[in-house]
A and B are shown apart, each in its own frame.
Chain A
Amino acid sequence: MPNYNKITPAVAEQLRAAVGVGRFFYGDEIDPNYAHDEMPIYGKFMPEAAVDVESTEEVSAIMKICSQNKIPVTCRGAGTGLVGGCVPIQGGLVLCTRRMDKILEYDMDNLTVRLQPGVLLKDLAADALTHGLMYPPDPGEKTATVGGNISTNAGGMRAVKYGVTRDYVLALTVVLADGRIVELGKSVCKTSSGYSLLHLMVGSEGTLGIITEMIMKLIPNPVCDVSCLVPFRDVESCIHFVPKIKMANLDPQSIEFMDADIVTSSAAFTGNPIFPETVSNTEVGASVLVTFVGSDAEELDQKMIKLGEIAEAAGALDVLVVATTANKKAAWSARSSFLTAIEADTRLIDEMDVVVPVDKIPAFLIYIRALGEENGIRIRNFGHAGDGNLHIYCCSNELEEDDFKRRVKIIMDAAYTKCAELEGQVSGEHSIGHAKMIYLRESVGEDVFALMGEIKKVFDPDFILNPGKVCDM
């Protein structure tokens, strides 16, 4: 463990001078929310100071001061993470990029956009649309920053068709631990030019450098889209249906899984029961929401007809169509509300977002449900069934916190072991933070974990960038 220095009043004054008026906060001035992200169960840690940066130059100046004084720096966007990634567990400075929220320019010939890291995902998506373009990655949390999405390599609902955030990052401006500014990547589609530090930076959770500007790839917005909700009597038959959609070569944009529990919570929460809880007098156990995009309605109809055939063969209760703007909006807001709906009616909550090969989803879900039952923890889940990424929430309203943590630990330990057995990964898109480090280590093995540590040292010899995260244990 390196020895960090505290932010003395003298250093604080240097930091204050490095940014504009009213953007440096010290001691009591700091927003208490900076002590946690959306998963407070992993502990709250207050920074000694916080700064709202507005430019690459400011970030550089700040990093120079902090590296000279050996002060830990934790970069934070909108604070919507789920693994404690932006939480300053060693104190020090929180560097918040939320004010760097400008979309700088579109290149309509190369279909790229240059922007600052604090732009919110929903704002980028909406703004790109006004240019007839789509930003394909579509993580559930729309109020996350795009910078945060890059730092965690967020995936989202459309990954099954378009891939993940990494696939859309072309170039980054990065401030290194000592304040140097480097440009990684170029605005081109191919590269075969040495180690890709660009891709090393993606998903590095602020442990290798601070992203201050990026060029992202966009695609033309698909002309039309439609979704089908396919309800099943039980979770097993629903999950077994998913690989069949892929096998049928229907190329869906997303395949989202939801169980009955989550649908009920979300209906209560949004006030709009768009996803039915019963279909022809049969209770729905679980449903998948399948979205198709295409160039005309005829093409989409054909895909839906095919989907209808395989759904019937798989024992689906029905196939419902989400085609009108109003229904799409309602379905989208219901789907987006799942996590918040769980949070709203749950006192204690912990999560995992493992990813397993698609054909292993049923095995994993059946296993984890049994685990939950054994340990008296309610398991709720939804997720991107199409890519095997499952968001699993351990919930309780009754247990004492310590007891809850103890039981969840048993479940998590067993679940990650099972996940490894099934050739899965620790995290699909929420990343490691400080919450999942031991599971990462177990999953990748000592050799690989040590290599990660060596890389960290090259970029950040004093370990001041987001200490205690990813591979820093």
Chain B
Amino acid sequence: MLNILVCVKQIPDVDLVKMDPETGNLVRTGVPTLTNPLDLNALEAAVQVKERFGGKITLITMGPPMAEETLRECLAVGGDEAVLITGRPFGGADTLSTSYTIVKASESFGCFDLIFAGKETLDGATGQMASQLAERFDASQISCCFSIEDISDGKVRATRSLETGKEVVEATLPCLITVEKDNFYGRLPNLRAYLDAKTADIAVCTETNIPGLDLEKIGVPGSGTIVPKIYPPELPEPGQIIRTGSVKTDVTRLVELLAEKDAI
């Protein structure tokens, strides 16, 4: 039986996050949250593996207490067990310290053959968490996985997307996999699982109960990068807006201008 870990993240709806023009801070209060869409694709891949090859899926996330919602959503579609890492000292972590924290916390829940993670998150969008997790798990890695052909004899055979085509690869377990969404659209939970997930036990990891956790390696102190400044993008001066009164005449003018520039 495969022991599978799926790493998920609850993110704010980035379309609704605004920047406070006075303070220059991001306003996230009251912004609805969602489970990072690519994490759901990764979970679907894990569930398909579980259905085909047998296994147990452990979900793990790090975030504020409300990130529990994401775990319940994922439990409903095929997770068996869920771990929430939460606590102030973990806040402000970059990928270096987050990957450390997740790997450290997961050790109490087993030794994993397969780790699934989203290709990137919509909020942070660094796209480097998966590689850093793979490194810390001492795992091989298949990124942009398109389909999983076989898992046997301690190896996984899969097809991944590269810039110019698809490559069939064989990787040793443990292996970390990120997926393309094509074959891994998330499924709807069934009612029983949905209701069960609402009351399922969720293991909570804090800075005090993770064995061997080095507090210097978590949160802000453990981060390699900081964000000293954010600012609104500087916009170039607007171009020439054509306003002649009607679509027809606007377009006529545009065609004239483009013709003058030899652009058409």
Contact = CB atoms under 8 A, between A and B. Distances in A.
Answer yes or no: A and B touching, Cβ < 8 Å.
yes
Interface of A: 21-23, 29, 228-229, 272-274, 276, 301, 304-305, 307-308, 318-327
Contacts, number: 56
A127 B40 CA distance: 31
Contacts of B37: 326
Contact of A321 (B40, B76, B185, B186): B76
A29 B248 contact: yes
B182 to A, nearest CB: 9
Interface in B138-186: 185-186
Contact of B188 (A301, A305, A307, A327): A327
Nearest to B185: A273
Contacts of B73: 323-324
Given A22-B245, A274-B188, A326 B194 contact: no
Contacts of A22: 244-246, 248-249
Nearest to A331: B188
Contacts of B54: none
Majority secondary structure of chain A interface residues (helix, strand, loop or mixed):
mixed
A49 to B, nearest CB: 15
For B13, B34, B186, B190, the residue with the greatest tally of chain A CB atoms inside 10 Å of its CB is B190
Nearest to A275: B188
Given A22-B246, A324-B73, A276 B187 contact: yes
Interface string B18-42: 0000000000000010110100100
Contacts of B186: 327
A29 B35 CA distance: 50
B191 A319 contact: yes
Nearest to B13: A325
12 contacts: A21-B245, A274-B185, A276-B188, A301-B195, A301-B198, A304-B195, A320-B188, A321-B188, A322-B188, A325-B13, A326-B40, A327-B188
Contact of A323 (B40, B192, B194, B244): B194
Nearest to A230: B191
Given A320-B190, A321-B76, 6 more contacts: A228-B191, A323-B189, A324-B34, A324-B35, A325-B13, A326-B35
Interface of B: 13, 32, 34-35, 37, 40, 73, 76, 185-192, 194-195, 198, 244-246, 248-249
B34 A305 contact: no
Contacts of A325: 13, 32, 34
Contact of A304 (B40, B185, B188, B191): B191
Contact of A318 (B35, B185, B190, B246): B190
B35 A320 contact: no
For B73, B194, B198, B248, the residue with the greatest tally of chain A CB atoms inside 10 Å of its CB is B194
A23 B246 contact: yes
Contact of B34 (A308, A322, A326): A326
Contacts of A21: 245-246
A320 B191 contact: yes
Contacts of B246: 21-23
A273 B182 CA distance: 10
A272 B191 contact: no
A319 B190 contact: yes
Nearest to B191: A319
A320 B77 CA distance: 10
A301 B199 CA distance: 13
A231 to B, nearest CB: 10
Nearest to A279: B190
A398 to B, nearest CB: 31
Contacts of B76: 321
A308 B192 CA distance: 9
List the 7 shortest-distance A-B pairs measured between CB atoms, nearest first.
A22-B246, A320-B188, A319-B191, A321-B194, A22-B245, A308-B191, A318-B190
A321 B245 contact: no
Nearest to A227: B188
Nearest to A25: B248
Given A21-B245, A274-B185, A321 B190 contact: yes
Contacts of A319: 190-191
A435 to B, nearest CB: 30
